[in-house]
Amino acid sequence: MITQPIHYQSIQEIQDSYKNKTETPVSVTEHFLKRIESLDPDLKSYATVMSESALKQAEFLGKLDDDDIAKLSLYGIPIALKDLCYTDGVLTMGGTAVLEDHIPDYDATVVSKLKSAGAIILGKLNLTEGAMAGYNPRRDVPKNPWNFDKWPGVSSSGSGVSTAAGLCVGSLGSDTGGSIRFPSASCGLVGIKPTYGRVSRHGVLDLAETLDHVGPMTRSVDDATMMLSAISGYDPNDPTTIFEDPVQFPDLHNVDLRGIVLGYCESYAEENIHKEIVASVRNGLEILENAGATIKKIEFESIDKYLPYWQAICTAEAYNAHLENFPKNADKYGPFFKEWLEMGSNVSQTEYIQASKQRATSNGIMRRAFDGIDAMICPSVPRLPHDVDDSINYGSVATNRASRGIAEYFQRFTVPFDYNGYPTISIPSGYSESGLPMSLQIVGTHNQEPLISRVGYAFEKEIKSIWKHPIT
């Protein structure tokens, strides 16, 4: 078996190197920091590199005895954070200029949990402004490591780029309308959008509080589940969290899927979807069926007409989240997000309630779609990563949407599960003729992260031999 370089090793592989005394937390951290220094001037994934504190934490971890190490699930693992997550004494800008001097005096709960699990925080990652779809002109745009001219996914773009390029072992992203799954699909990663309330949002800047989810982005299902276990669990500081212990994955490696029924709706998963993505997902169905799963064809009402109501909810909640700075500091916002907040300011109470009713209708359709199945298979995105440039990245809402070409149903596979809070896992499923990553998505009902991750692991086990890295 060919040994991967440190920057592409899994959590288990790195921790094995610690046990074997071939590496130390300091040597691994230094390796990642040097790689960031070498590659990130072009990739632009990091907003802030926390070299000093990362090395200090690595030195501390290196002095622990075996009994203490055994208690730390992420011992010595270099992780990076989407720059929405508060970090005590470190800039947290949220992709905006209005917060470019914002230094919190406490860690977000997810950051505290990562540290408590023994992770080493390498730094904060760039993102679109406010975690929407456009960038602030004063912030860098991360480059897709597979092709610098292609969309890296939003809004957790820095998370996708850094993890795919081996500038961290894993990262945190957030997902309000697809922001974990879009960059995971575009950069060839595993991304878990957990059940709403599974992971605390305390100390994480809001985009839209009833839609926001925080989750891991990694290069394997194993790593994603280890990170999710570390950051999940009830938090009294976030009243929306589920009153449960951190999620565990006892049957993850049971790749015999007999008895598991996976639903597939052809009209939902294939209508107007790029043919290579459809073929890739269909191949995934065959792999899962060969692993023992039963594939059940299902039908449900089109949910496309319910997608536009997401905008009313998201803009209104974003406007509420930014009241302290908007409109009084409107000049510090970029074209896209400024327009987004202006739209939110014009959403009436009646319009918000109507949108919420349409959201509930969509949720009902999806709930009924899961009758008789354990999980659903569908694409993560409807098309391959599209061309982007500064006119799109820093442009208006209309310019940004026009670049996608199919804006009216671009969020078909993401918004419904932000609406209802169902957990999903996005997994690489192959490569297009042009060499770009493709992915499929496995969706479960509330609190079914263990099930969908088990299905995902079984799929990954059969297809991982073809997985590649964008940069050596």
* Active-site amino acid positions: 82, 155, 179
**pLDDT score of 426 more than 90:** yes
The answer to whether residues 328 and 297 touch, using CB atoms and an 8 Å cutoff, is: no
3-state helix, strand, coil in the chain (%, to 5): 40, 15, 45
Residue 408 predicted with pLDDT over 80: no
**pLDDT attached to residue 360:** 99
Q: Which domains does the chain have, with CATH numbers?
A: 6-466 (3.90.1300.10)
| 418, 213 contact by CB (below 8 A) | yes
pLDDT tens per residue across span 9-37: 999 999 999 999 999 999 999 999 999 99
What does the alpha-carbon distance between residue 291 and residue 135 come to, in Å, rounded to a whole number? 42
Per-residue pLDDT at 405: 78
| pLDDT of 2 over the 90 cut | no
Tell me, what's the pLDDT at 337?
99
Instruction: Tell me: pLDDT of 291 over 90.
Output: yes
With CA atoms as reference, report the closest residue to 417 among 375, 386, 385: 375
Q: For position 294, what pLDDT does the model report?
A: 99
In the prediction, which pLDDT does 1 show? 56
Q: Tell me: the pLDDT tens digits for 302-327?
A: 999 999 999 999 999 999 999 999 99
Strand order in the sheet with 46-49: 46-49, 120-125, 78-82, 170-175, 213-218, 190-193, 424-431, 437-443, 375-379, 261-264, 294-297
Residue 220 has pLDDT above 60, yes or no: yes
Beta carbons of 183 and 217 less than 8 angstroms apart: yes
Give pLDDT, residue 406: 75
Mean pLDDT value of segment 237-253: 97
For residue 7, the 8-state DSSP code is G
**Section 166-195 average pLDDT:** 99
Give the ranges where 83-180 is alpha helix by DSSP (H): 109-116, 157-164
